[in-house]
């Protein structure tokens, strides 16, 4: 019998409608304590390996986007199925290499936007590697099996869009098959298709983590994102989901751009390529060095996040030699420094140390990461620390380290022979959670520079920190930009300090406050016209120094006081993104100052910084 509604009933339904909507919106909410427990393995992991493998590796073209952007036709793109043979695919060797790298989880593509699935899906009208490729295999299942055997956590990448499926609305950048308003039944068929695939993934692979991509093409209601998450949790209440499910997920996924500042979310992961490509592209030679990758991992650790480092296997299933080498070199460092990686939490503010830091969970151990090798008589400076260390050691070395205190500052002496080739780690242990002194703006006046009882290197570090904070002790002196004018003070200063000042006068003359936190890990100063950055470089860097979040173009870089020109390298600048790339500046060892080197970076205009939130990719049309 059909139901009849009275005016009163209708009024009550309308009254309750906002609460029903609110309830639907809150379906994905979790108890904070339960979420923290669920997320602990992820927060502890620090390193994962991303795997982009698909038919795009045959010709070495952009995964899916190459036909979407009409770089080639969809028909020609799909012809790569005939060359995707996976003839040398050895999932056991893959997992062995991933584990050797120090990663604690891996995320493999199950289906990219091109719709080619790497497992034997039973959903309607699929394109699969088992039925449609030369491989004639389910490629995902054996990898997941080996991953679970190894004890590593299982992550699966899944594309929401499927540009090749006949029931999906979007085909290419210029073409749509239909609109949802015109053909809602057809859209519902696609919803059934992709929900079926997700149920298969949950049932067959039991993933610990689901890595969604492509949510920008539809809103959460159209994707039925809340329902997706609810279904996933029915199979695994502790499933971890990234933020690319219309923000229904657990953690943020900045892409390619290392965040300038620590993301606001407690859980985040930088997904990052070794060169400029996700999948295998034979002519992309722009690989980052193992040193750069290791330091990127350290950057993520220091901000409490993870690095998800990508590899792109070839069509035959082998991993390119360059990528294997990076994973092995990464493994060398992670194996040696495990205690300073896994289970750590974000470090202390940058004002305390001219490098990256991290803390143990109980905050009783502070890890200092030095990507430079100190001179034989140089000490590392840790500023404004109330707590007294009970022990200090070089992680991964049997050689002893020493410390002393001067006021609120701690000085550490590390044997040169104990230094790591990429990043040296010093563990400073306290008997209570570390207590910090509120850092005041460093300030050195000219008379303090005359104290010959302080070692030259330490004196110059304090001077650099003072300049960085905007306190320039030379503003009221006769020092000129060419180093002339301070002759009357020559005998009041130590010879080393006087010679350094006259050599590097350009960086001292009328310079002001340096870069805010996050852009450069050391001290810096800015010229009066704000077009030249002066970077202070201590010791011998283990690799090129890095600048993040600089919007300007670089006009010229040179070493102050001796004129050597330096050619920088720009990495991870995406042509479609406003996020600046990372500027790497090599430092020729033979040209470094024995006490403190100064690098001048001439910009194309007044300094312009990018400090916006780095979030998930929106598109790369």
Q: Would 395 be classed as within a structural domain?
A: yes
Domain that holds residue 361: 345-429
**What are the structure tokens assigned to 166, written together?**
């006949």
pLDDT recorded at residue 613: 65
Residues 170 and 252 in one domain: yes
Q: What is the CATH number of the domain that holds 549?
A: 2.60.40.1180
Query: For 359-415, how does the pLDDT look when each residue is reduced to its tens digit (9 = 90+)?
Result: 999 999 999 999 999 877 678 999 999 999 999 999 999 999 999 999 889 999 999
Tell me which of 27-36, 260-269, 497-506 is least confident: 27-36
Residues 391 and 451 in one domain: no
Q: Would 237 be classed as within a structural domain?
A: yes
pLDDT recorded at residue 15: 40
Over residues 503-519, the mean pLDDT reads 96
Q: Would 71 be classed as within a structural domain?
A: yes
Is pLDDT above 60 for 11? no
Find all residues with CB under 8 Å of 14, minimum gap 6, and list them. Answer: none
Residue 578: band (very low, low, confident or very high) from pLDDT cuts 50, 70, 90: confident
Is pLDDT above 50 for 201? yes
Residues 416 and 510 in one domain: no
End-of-domain residue from the set 400, 429, 458: 429
Average pLDDT of every residue of the chain = 92
pLDDT recorded at residue 29: 67
DSSP string covering 380-426, please? Answer: EEE-SB-SPPSEEEETT--SB-EEEEETTEEEEE--GGG--SS-EEE
Residues 421 and 518 in one domain: no
Over residues 173-200, the mean pLDDT reads 97
Query: For 229-260, how does the pLDDT look when each residue is reduced to its tens digit (9 = 90+)?
Result: 999 999 999 999 999 998 889 999 999 888 99
Is pLDDT above 80 for 23? no
Is pLDDT above 60 for 179? yes
Residues 331 and 357 in one domain: no
Distance between CA atoms of 606 and 603, rounded to whole angstroms? 7
pLDDT recorded at residue 31: 86
Residues 332 and 198 in one domain: yes
Query: For 271-298, how does the pLDDT look when each residue is reduced to its tens digit (9 = 90+)?
Result: 999 999 999 999 999 999 999 999 999 9
Please give the share of the chain, as a percent, with pLDDT higher than 70: 94
In this structure, the dihedral spanned by the alpha carbons of residues 64, 68, 71 and 74, taken in order and rounded to 10 degrees, is 80
Let me know the angle formed at the C-alpha of 149 by 148 and 151, rounded to the nearest 5 degrees.
65
Q: Would 228 be classed as within a structural domain?
A: yes
For the chain, the domain total comes to 3
Is pLDDT above 60 for 7? no
Residues 98 and 212 in one domain: yes
How far CA 440 is from CA of 32, 406, 443, 458, 515, in Å, comes to 35, 16, 9, 18, 17
End-of-domain residue from the set 314, 336, 358: 336
Is pLDDT above 80 for 13? no
Is pLDDT above 50 for 6? no
Q: Would 440 be classed as within a structural domain?
A: no
Residue 35: band (very low, low, confident or very high) from pLDDT cuts 50, 70, 90: very high
Residues 118 and 143 in one domain: yes
End-of-domain residue from the set 336, 353, 376: 336
Residues 274 and 206 in one domain: yes
Residues 349 and 329 in one domain: no
Distance between CA atoms of 375 and 93, rounded to whole angstroms? 41
Over residues 101-130, the mean pLDDT reads 97
Q: Which residue has the higher pLDDT, 218 or 8?
A: 218
Q: Would 571 be classed as within a structural domain?
A: yes
Residues 177 and 53 in one domain: yes
Residue 614: band (very low, low, confident or very high) from pLDDT cuts 50, 70, 90: low
DSSP string covering 518-541, please? Answer: TS-SS-EEE-TTS-EEEEEE-SEE
Q: Would 438 be classed as within a structural domain?
A: no
Please give the share of the chain, as a percent, with pLDDT higher than 90: 86
Q: Are 610 and 579 in contact (CB under 8 A)?
A: yes
Distance of CA 449 to the CA centre of its chain: 39
The alpha carbons of the chain give a radius of gyration, in whole angstroms, of: 28
Residues 157 and 188 in one domain: yes
Q: What is the CATH number of the domain that holds 208?
A: 3.20.20.80
Query: For 401-455, how does the pLDDT look when each residue is reduced to its tens digit (9 = 90+)?
Result: 999 999 889 999 999 999 999 999 999 999 999 999 987 888 899 999 999 989 8
Q: Would 3 be classed as within a structural domain?
A: no
pTM confidence score: 0.92
Distance between CA atoms of 427 and 395, rounded to whole angstroms? 6
Q: Are 240 and 208 in contact (CB under 8 A)?
A: yes
């Amino acid at each position: 019998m059909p139901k009849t509604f009275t005016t009163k009933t209708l009024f009550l339904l309308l009254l309750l409608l906002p609460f029903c909507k609110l309830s639907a919106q809150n379906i994905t909410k979790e108890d904070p304590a339960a979420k923290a427990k669920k997320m602990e393995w992820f927060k502890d992991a620090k390193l994962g390996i991303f795997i982009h493998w698909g038919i795009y590796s045959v010709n070495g073209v952009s995964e899916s986007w190459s036909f979407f952007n009409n770089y080639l036709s969809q028909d020609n793109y799909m012809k790569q199925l005939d060359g995707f043979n996976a003839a040398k695919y050895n999932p056991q060797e893959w997992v062995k290499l991933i584990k050797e790298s120090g990663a604690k989880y891996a995320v493999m593509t199950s289906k990219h936007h091109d719709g080619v699935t790497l497992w034997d899906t039973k959903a309607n009208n699929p394109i699969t590697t088992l039925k449609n490729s030369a491989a004639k295999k389910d490629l995902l299942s054996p990898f997941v099996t080996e991953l679970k055997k190894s004890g590593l956590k299982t992550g699966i990448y899944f594309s929401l869009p499927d540009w090749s499926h006949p029931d999906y609305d979007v085909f290419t950048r210029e073409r749509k098959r239909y609109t949802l308003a015109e053909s809602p039944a057809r859209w519902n068929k696609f919803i059934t298709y992709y929900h079926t695939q997700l149920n298969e993934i949950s049932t067959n692979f039991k993933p610990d983590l689901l890595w969604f991509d492509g949510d920008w093409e539809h809103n959460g209601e159209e994707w039925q994102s809340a329902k997706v998450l609810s279904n996933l949790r029915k199979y695994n209440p502790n499933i971890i989901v990234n933020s690319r499910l219309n923000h229904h997920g657990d953690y943020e996924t900045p892409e390619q751009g290392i965040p300038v500042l620590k993301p606001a979310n407690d859980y985040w992961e930088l997904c990052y390529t070794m060169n400029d490509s996700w999948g295998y592209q034979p002519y992309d030679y722009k690989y980052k060095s193992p040193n750069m990758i290791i330091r990127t991992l350290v950057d993520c650790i220091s901000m409490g996040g993870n690095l998800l480092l990508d590899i792109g296997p070839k069509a035959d299933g082998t991993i390119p030699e360059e990528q294997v080498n990076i994973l092995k070199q990464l493994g060398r460092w992670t194996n040696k420094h495990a205690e300073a990686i896994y289970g750590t939490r974000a470090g202390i503010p940058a004002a305390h140390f001219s490098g990256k830091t991290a803390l143990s969970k109980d905050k009783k151990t502070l890890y200092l990461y030095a990507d430079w090798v100190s001179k034989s008589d140089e000490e590392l400076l840790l500023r404004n620390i109330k707590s007294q260390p009970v022990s200090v050691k070089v992680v991964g070395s049997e050689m002893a380290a020493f410390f002393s205190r001067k006021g609120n500052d701690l000085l550490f002496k590390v044997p040169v022979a104990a230094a790591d080739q990429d990043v040296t780690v010093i563990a400073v242990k306290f008997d209570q959670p570390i207590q910090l002194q509120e850092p005041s703006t460093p300030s050195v006046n000219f008379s303090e520079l005359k104290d010959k009882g302080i070692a030259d290197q330490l004196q110059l570090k304090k001077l650099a920190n003072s300049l960085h904070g905007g306190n320039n002790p030379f503003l009221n002196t006769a020092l000129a930009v060419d180093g002339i004018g301070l002759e009357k003070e020559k005998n009041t200063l130590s010879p080393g300090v006087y010679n350094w000042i006259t050599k590097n006068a350009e960086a001292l003359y009328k310079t002001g406050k340096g870069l805010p936190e996050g852009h450069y890990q050391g001290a810096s100063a800015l010229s009066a016209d704000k077009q030249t950055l002066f970077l202070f470089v201590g010791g011998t860097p283990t690799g090129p120094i890095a600048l993040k979040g600089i919007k300007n173009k670089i006009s010229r870089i040179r070493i102050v006081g001796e004129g050597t020109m330096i050619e920088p390298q720009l990495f991870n600048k995406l042509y479609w993104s406003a996020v600046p790339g990372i500027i790497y500046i090599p430092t020729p060892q033979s040209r470094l100052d024995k006490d403190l080197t100064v690098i001048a970076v001439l910009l194309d205009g007044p300094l312009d910084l990018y400090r916006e939130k780095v979030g998930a990719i929106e598109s790369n049309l």
